[in-house]
Amino acid sequence: MVINRNNKRAIIYSAESPNEVQLRRFAAFVEKRYGAGIPVVWEERPEITGGFRLEIGTDVYDWTVEGKLNQLQEELSRLPDHRSDIIPLIKSAIDEWIPVPEVQEYGAVETVGDGIAIVSGLENVGYGEIVLFETGTRGMVQELHRNSVGCILFDNDNDIASGSAVRRTYRNAGIPVGEAFLGRVIDPLGSPIDDEGQINAREYRPIERPAPGIIDRQAVNTPMDTGLIVIDSMFPIGRGQRELIIGDRQTGKTAIAIDTIINQKGKNVICVYVAIGQKASSVAQLVEKLRQFGALEYTIVLAATASDAAPLQYIAPYAGTAMGEYFMDQGKDVLIIYDDLSKHAIAYRSMSLLLERSPGREAYPGDIFYLHSRLLERSAHLANRLGGGSITALPIVETQDGDVSAYIPTNIISITDGQIFLEKDLFFAGQRPAVNVGLSVSRVGGDAQTKAMKKAAKTLRLDLAQYRELEVFMQFSSELDEATKRQLEYGAGLMQMLKQPQYHPLTQHEQVIVLVVFLNKLMTGLPKEDIPRHVRELLDYFNANHRSLCEQIDETGVLTDEVQDAILAAGRAFRKTIDGNNN
């Protein structure tokens, strides 16, 4: 005797009773799929006008007219909707479509609240799979228990109640991608939020993807210029690098990111700005600035604002990375900004606590490091055989009172290839960008610099370090000799040189000229407060009178001795004009 250990029944729902032959076929199908001992029974459902529905536990085989239409709709949803010949494609799909008895696994909601739903009955659902609630709300499985699963919800949960049906989709979370997204503002699900109409996607990509392996990468050797002289000269960023921007609130972190995006104009770099937990008004201002400087046309802004649910903030950086990977796989260079990962970690922590995961340090779950490592490792410079594309990541992390030893900052520092540390005291002292030269570092170093920049800036860090030491010494000494005074004056001039107004990134030749002139002490002796103005005048002077020299630096990326001598000669001539005006 065969025993039905799971107490399952196979129930056939239809308007008419199946005959003996049909019942034997049903029984054979059930035995083949689920084993012997499961009884097959029929229940009348007059509302089913055609076909039948077979339910075995939580599995549903929908062979009704409605079920067939749902299958057809699924097939049509996979067609590219950007094509102009979509109507012939639909007709062809209808002609060639052959419905098959697909299994649909259903579950039921046990509890729901705060963007989290606990669902029972989905016995074979996988981690990260998208599920669909009967109200149309989408969710993603994030916690697996013995008899239930925890789902995060991407839409409003007001209409979901205990007992609501939930259906598996057999698909992981994804986002539509394509060139049409450039210049647009979207949410983490790929829907436009800029009131400029629908976006025709090129394809659909999963938001989570394994990072490229070691063999699939190549060295970081091409500059990703920020246009900020303090960064490009001392902490160069290369295409494929991950450079952390870290500092307290309101110290200019986002300003550096925006200037870097603006500086990519005309350089064939696609930019993706991911706003996580930002105010909607702040995102709107950022979009307007990018539009004002002509940078929005090559930028995608993906926003999960502070008013969005934690699940949307959680998937936002992964969705933005999937968007960037579409372009990287085509051999293009991509710059992606995560602003900021502190709020991303907080959103993940709130989700995890609601899912009843065990809290660890600072109440974060145990996999908080993996949360960011699997994200940032996807930024890479691909091997030439894979197209040679790259994703350069600039994650932003907010510190509390300059504490870089906190949990999230130390995690991300250990993942990235260096950090740019912004100091609050420098910011409020007027030194902007407020980069702390002592605590900032780029682990790629000179490999991501042109020869011209490397030669022009070779003594800058040493000169600034000596200046900082003298500043400390000066606090304990009342009298200074002339040599020390000159060194302090020179160092103070360098600090003024590094000041740069927002939205005014410098080209490579402009940075090289400023460095050569200042490091050769041609501007020593000028009043400190006038130096930023003299820097602008110096660049205007070179662009007007020595254009060929500027173009040579940009085209070759090399600073020969002849070019350096020409810069010095022009710099001395410019200094004479300053001294003449002062006299």
Active site residues: 443
* Cα distance between residue 79 and residue 86, in whole Å: 8
Q: Give φ, ψ of 359 to 5 degrees.
A: -80, 150
Distance, CA of 83 to chain centre: 28
Helix, strand or coil, per DSSP, at residue 11: strand
Distance, CA of 439 to chain centre: 25
* Cα distance between residue 529 and residue 80, in whole Å: 59
Other CB atoms within a 10 A radius of the CB of residue 69 amount to 11
Lookup: tokens for 444: 């790629």
Contacts of 127 (CB under 8 A, 6+ apart): 141, 142, 144
CB-count exposure of residue 195 (10 Å: 0-12, 13-18, 19+) = exposed
Element (H, E) at 338: strand 333-339
Q: Nearest-5° angle of CA 411, CA 426, CA 227?
A: 75
Other CB atoms within a 10 A radius of the CB of residue 327 amount to 23
Percent of residues in the chain assigned helix, strand, coil, to nearest 5: 40, 20, 40
From 198, 209, 199, 130, select the one nearest 166 (Cα to Cα). 130
| DSSP category for residue 212 | P
Distance, CA of 435 to chain centre: 23
Helix, strand or coil, per DSSP, at residue 484: helix
* Cα distance between residue 10 and residue 39, in whole Å: 6
Element (H, E) at 107: strand 103-113
Helix, strand or coil, per DSSP, at residue 500: coil
In sequence order, what DSSP letters do the residues of 456-473 get, joined into one string?
Answer: HTTTHHHHHHHHHHHHHH
Chain position carrying tokens 């004009």? 577
Kindly report the length of the chain.
583
CA distances 127 to 122, 144, 552, Å, are: 12, 7, 55
Amino acid found at 413: I
From 259, 249, 251, select the one nearest 286 (Cα to Cα). 259
| DSSP category for residue 455 | H
In sequence order, what DSSP letters do the residues of 53-105 get, joined into one string?
Answer: EEEETTEEEE-SHHHHHHHHHHHHHTS-TT-TTHHHHHHHHHHH------EEE
* Cα distance between residue 249 and residue 400, in whole Å: 8
